Amino acid sequence: MTTATDLDIPPATDTATLAAAVRVALRRMAKSVTVITALHNGRRYAMAATAVDALSMDPPSMIVSVNRSASLHAPLAAGADFCINVLGAMHEDVSRACGGGASGEDRFATGNWITGPRGLPMLADAQAAFVCHNDVSLGYGTHGLFIGRLVDVRSYGDVDPLVYLDGRYTRLAE
C-alpha cells in the first residue's frame, strides 16, 4: 500500500506551499477550454476559462469561477447574464485572444461571433454554447462564483474540443 509519505508531495506547511502544490496538481487536470461572454451596459466582455462546469440538471445550470481582477467579474457581479462557449480544436486563436492576447472589444476580432439569445455574444461555431441567466453569485477568496440557470443550449459540428493540459493546448486522441 502506498502512503502519502511515499509520494513526491511536499508537506503543506503554509498557504504558499499548499498553493504551489495545488498549481502543480491542477496541471494534471485536462479541461475543455471555454470563452465566457457577457453583455453589460451595451459593452461586450469575453474571457477564456477552464473553471467552468455543469452544476445541476434540476434546474439545468452551470457554474463559472472568475477572478475578481478579470474585466468580466464586474459585469457578472452586477448580475449580467452570460454565455459559455465551448471551444473546438480549431479555436486556439480565439482562446489566446480572450485569454489576454487582446483586450476589450478587440477580443471579438478573432472568431465568428454572432449575437445570440438575450443579446449575448456567441461563437457561431462553438462546440457548444450554454446561455445562462445569472441566478446566484458568491464571492470566495480571489474569485467570484456565478451560477447560471440555462435558458438555451446549442451544439455544433463533430465533438473535437480544445483541451488545456499541463500548461498547453492539446486535443483528444481517438
Please provide residue 6's backbone torsions phi and psi, each rounded to the nearest 5 degrees: -80, -20
Is residue 48 in a domain? yes
Is residue 145 in a domain? yes
Q: Provide the domain limits for residue 100.
A: 31-171
- pTM for this one? 0.90
Residues 81-109 have pLDDT tens digits of 999 999 999 999 999 999 999 999 999 99
Residue 8's pLDDT is what? 63
Residue 171's pLDDT is what? 85
DSSP E strand boundaries for the chain:
31-32, 34-40, 43-49, 52-57, 60-67, 82-86, 113-115, 121-123, 128-140, 143-155, 162-165, 168-171
| First-to-final CA distance of the chain | 33
In the predicted model, residues of the chain with pLDDT beneath 50 are none
Is residue 155 in a domain? yes
Is residue 12 in a domain? no
User: Measured between alpha carbons, how far is 79 from 132 in angstroms, rounded to an integer?
Assistant: 11
Residue 66's beta-bridge partner residues? 144
Q: Which amino acid is at 151?
A: V
Is residue 152 in a domain? yes
**H helical segments located in the chain:** 15-26, 73-77, 92-96
Residue 133's pLDDT is what? 98
Residue 26's pLDDT is what? 86
Q: What's the domain count of the chain?
A: 1
Give the CATH number, domain containing residue 151.
2.30.110.10
Question: Which of 94, 4, 111 lies closest to 48, judged by CA?
Answer: 94
CA atoms within 13 A on the CB side of 111: 32
Residue 98's pLDDT is what? 97
Residue 127's pLDDT is what? 97
The three grid cell numbers given for residue 38, joined into one nine-digit string: 457577457
| 4 contact partners, CB below 8 Å, separation of at least 6 | none
